[in-house]
Amino acid sequence: MSELFIELFSEEIPARMQARAAEELSRLVAEALAPLAPSDIRTFFGPRRIALAATVARAVAESRSSERGPRRNAPEQALAGFLRKHGAARAQLREEGDFLVLDRVVPGIAAAALIARELPGLLRRFSWPKSMRWGGTSSFTWVRPLRRILCILDGETVPFDLRDGADNGHGLASGNLTEGHRFLAPAAFAVHSCAEWREALRDRFVIVDAAERRRVIWDGVTRLAAGHGLTVVDDPGLLDEVAGLVEWPVPLLGAIDAAYMDLPPEVMQVSMRVNQRYFALRDPAGNAAQCFAFVANVVATDDGRTIIAGNERVLRARFADARHFWDLDRAVRLDSRVAALDKITFHAKLGSQGARVQRLVRLAGALAFIVGADPEQARRAARLCKADLTSGMVGEFPELQGVMGRYYALHDGEDAAAADAIRDHYAPKGAGDEVPTHPVGVAIALADKLDQIAEFFRIGEKPTGSGDPYALRRAALGIIRVIRDNRIRLGLGDFLSRHTNIGQTAEILAFIGERLRVQLRAEGARHDVLNAILPGETDYDIVRLLARTDAVAAFLATDDGANLLVAYRRAANILRIEEKKDGPHDGPVDTALLGQPEEQVLAATLDRLEPAIGAAIRDEKFTEAMADLAVLRPPLDAFFDKVTVNDPAPELRRNRLRLLARVRAAMNLAADFSRIEG
């Protein structure tokens, strides 16, 4: 086996594109070099390079194959199609019985030759979200100008270039040269293996492993912060981005001008993050610290003082802009901004944000009575919840919508519960986010997400397997989390039918039910049990659904539950087979034909249990319903042990099949056990 190493060296690659590009390179190499059976594929990515190392076979051996073609007397069109498909001539065919056969010999090829043949095309079809063409008339594109192609196999250069006919490909040709840090060690140098490349670049101030750069950055900024008694605000996305911006991370700490410390901490953090890629810090009380952390890409000779001063100066300018928006926005009352929402389009088919707010006011008022909120507070919060979209701060930093609405509402003297609801109604945005817990916030959050799903379903803009442009799956998961975490008794089916202008209620409920299954699967819970309960559910009370799911799952975890499931499946299989012959067999059981004690006991047990199970399910006494089901196990086991269902006497067979149908129906009162996995 041989080591293949490829490095694609270019101008700075946007941080957000690097990881996906490394995955793309791995996929394309695995496909293009499949005959060499590439294994142990490792990728590296950073600001100026995407690289790959793999183990490949030294060569592809010669192979022989025979392909049977059309019959000898087949029409000429069939023969021509076969030859065209295989790129063969008529003279290459031989006769074998009634058929024509093509014997093919695929000559062996050395690994270097195969790599040189495949790599140019691979690089030309490499896909970037955005790419550019530069210089001359070449059609070759890359995310940024591609400067070098390093390609070595067992230490030797694999020669190829990117020329394609008249296209000179910028004259780019493979070699064994790369470059170190742009400023600290820019000279080109040769490498002969992946290990040598990694060590040589480290000596030239380049850490090639993204995970290591990430670790160096985090350890560095947290250590600097801890030295001042501070902590770093956790921001994995920012950490990933900064790791994609620097090759030799040097963490530093700067000071924030005291004149800007009265800005909302969220404004300070977002401004630092979005504009400058700085890390926000907090003091022991959790308040914004008068410091920030950032990462340089060079080792300064003055311990970073000049770099720190420059970044502090830039941050003062950024905060001055934020101060301008902060002061300007507070000069206008939040409620006076509501009218301007009529001029902001929510969606071309759904009208303005103003029209949406009117719907939210109605929904929030209705939900208030269900979640225990003050209806007037809920309607007031709903009226104001989108008003900050017209503010300068949210225009500059859309991430702050809701957050700024809360600050402006408090500044105007609005009720604190309504102000908090304005901030919280977008939550949760992700799996780790907290959900609103105050009833007013709960009402607005549910109203916002229910309206979002209902309205987009109404106009046919539903998620597909390939996309969810309006984040409806996230909205559904948000509804589920708000309801679950607050244990809200809300019948979604009835509520949607009464309070939304849609005709696809069943479709929406199925969509939310699927999201609930996904959530349970992610938690490692019995999503198959939920799947067995949903078909009989009409109102989608999530709290009730989950309580019932938990009860059935707990029952199945017992010996009685597991064995009863086996018996159920046996009964269901018998019924499925026999009903194909002369079913259905769901009529009343003739007690006069119950001759054996075991079928008599089973019938009597069903007479007693069916109404008890049904009543327990209606009263939401799901544990009691499972206890009733457990009683069914002994008589059902005895029935299968002693009774022949398919008795030669037709009337006995039909009666016993009807008895099994009653067993199936009784168990299905609790859940459709045919949907249980395992």
Q: Where do the H-state alpha helices sit in 412-490?
A: 416-424, 439-458, 472-486
Please give the angle made by the CA atoms of 267, 271 and 272, to the nearest 5 degrees: 120
Tokens 């457990």 sit at which residue? 630
> Where does the pLDDT of residue 598 fall: very low under 50, low under 70, confident under 90, or very high at 90 and above?
very high
User: Please, which residues bridge with residue 52 across strands?
Assistant: 6, 43
Same domain, 298 and 342: no
CA end-to-end span of the chain, whole Å? Answer: 43
| Statement to judge: residues 265 and 303 lie in one domain | yes
Contact (Cβ atoms closer than 8 angstroms) between residue 207 and residue 214: no
If one counts the domains in the chain, the total is 5
Tell which of 463, 495, 519 closes a domain: 519
3-state DSSP of 337-362: HHHHHHHCEEECCCEEHHHHHHHHHH
| pLDDT of res. 37 | 94
Instruction: Give the pTM.
Output: 0.83
Q: Which secondary structure element, helix H or strand E, spans residue 408, and what is its range?
A: helix 403-411
**From 129-143, 265-279, 341-355, 389-403, the region with the lowest mean pLDDT:** 129-143
pLDDT value for 286: 93
**525: in domain:** no
pLDDT grade for 500, boundaries at 50, 70 and 90: confident
Q: What is the mean pLDDT of residues 328-338?
A: 97
Q: Of residues 95 and 366, which shows the higher confidence score?
A: 366
What pLDDT is attached to residue 166? 53
pLDDT tens, position by position, 209-235:
999 999 999 999 999 999 999 999 999
Q: Is residue 543 part of a domain?
A: no
CATH code of 618's domain? 1.10.730.10
Are both 599 and 665 inside the same structural domain?
A: yes
Residues 386 and 415 in one domain: yes
Has residue 168 got a pLDDT over 70? no
Other CB atoms within 10 A of residue 366 CB: 17
Region 541-562 average pLDDT: 94
Is residue 646 in some structural domain? yes
- Listed in sequence order, the residues at least 6 apart from 575 whose beta carbon sits closer than 8 Å to its beta carbon are 583, 585, 657, 660, 661, 664
- From residue 261, give the alpha-carbon distance in Å to each of 90, 268, 271, 289: 84, 8, 13, 8
* Residue 218 shares a structural domain with residue 293: yes
Average pLDDT of span 558-571: 93
The alpha carbon dihedral of 605, 607, 610, 612 has a sign of negative
In sequence order, the β-bridge partners of residue 419 are: none
Q: How far apart are CA 89 and CA 79, in angstroms?
A: 10
Do 182 and 266 sit in the same domain of this protein? no
Coil vs helix vs strand at 494: helix
* Local confidence band at 67 (pLDDT 50, 70, 90 cut-offs): confident
Mean pLDDT of all residues belonging to the chain: 93
pLDDT value of residue 613 = 95
pLDDT band at residue 64 under the 50/70/90 scheme: confident
Domain range for residue 84?
Answer: 71-103
Beta strands in 82-225, from DSSP E residues, in sequence order: 93-96, 99-106, 109-110, 146-153, 156-157, 174-175, 177-179, 188-190
Average pLDDT over residues 356-379: 97
Looking at residue 137, its pLDDT comes to 58
Q: What does the alpha-carbon distance between residue 634 and residue 622 come to, in Å, rounded to a whole number?
A: 21
Indicate the residue among 185, 203, 221 that finishes a domain. 203
Residue 140 lies in a domain: yes
How confident is the model over 623-637, as pLDDT tens digits? 999 999 999 999 999
Give the DSSP H or E segment for 295. Answer: strand 288-296
Residue 531 lies in a domain: no
587 and 662, same domain (yes or no): yes
